[in-house]
């Protein structure tokens, strides 16, 4: 599975920006990427996530919503061995 978080977001959502800003150093330290998707640009995603944004996902696995749960993210990242960058 790709090592990239997905954040379901809205451009105008303050909590969304706060979550991404808090996630960035955790993702960078683990060598993971972050993809931010504006649900307002995708009716099917807006219908699914609605008022739950921001939502932090890895694949279909929901890690947290509204606020970053740093402990949950660190625990989740602990399940992935480091990759060799040689």
- What total number of domains does the chain contain? 1
The predicted-structure confidence for 28-85, as pLDDT tens digits, reads as follows: 999 999 999 999 999 999 999 999 999 999 999 999 999 999 999 999 999 886 555 5
Question: Is 24 a domain residue?
Answer: yes
Question: Is 47 a domain residue?
Answer: yes
Question: Is 28 a domain residue?
Answer: yes
What is the reported pTM?
0.90
- The CATH number for 54's domain is 3.40.30.10
Question: Is 81 a domain residue?
Answer: no
Domain enclosing residue 22, as ranges = 4-58
Question: Is 85 a domain residue?
Answer: no
* Phi, psi of 49, deg, nearest 5: -95, -25
Question: Is 15 a domain residue?
Answer: yes
Question: Is 35 a domain residue?
Answer: yes
Long-range contact list for 33-36, CB < 8 A, 24+ apart?
33/3, 33/4, 33/5, 34/4, 34/5, 34/6, 34/7, 35/4, 35/5, 35/6, 35/7, 36/6, 36/7, 36/9
């Amino acid at each position: 599975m790709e090592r990239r978080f997905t954040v379901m977001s809205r451009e105008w959502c303050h909590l969304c920006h706060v979550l991404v800003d808090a996630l960035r150093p955790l993702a960078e330290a683990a060598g993971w990427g972050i993809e931010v998707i504006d649900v307002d640009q995708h009716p099917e995603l807006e219908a699914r996530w609605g008022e739950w944004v921001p939502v932090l996902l890895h694949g279909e696995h929901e890690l947290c919503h509204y606020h970053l749960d740093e402990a949950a993210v660190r625990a989740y990242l602990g399940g992935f061995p480091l990759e060799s960058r040689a």
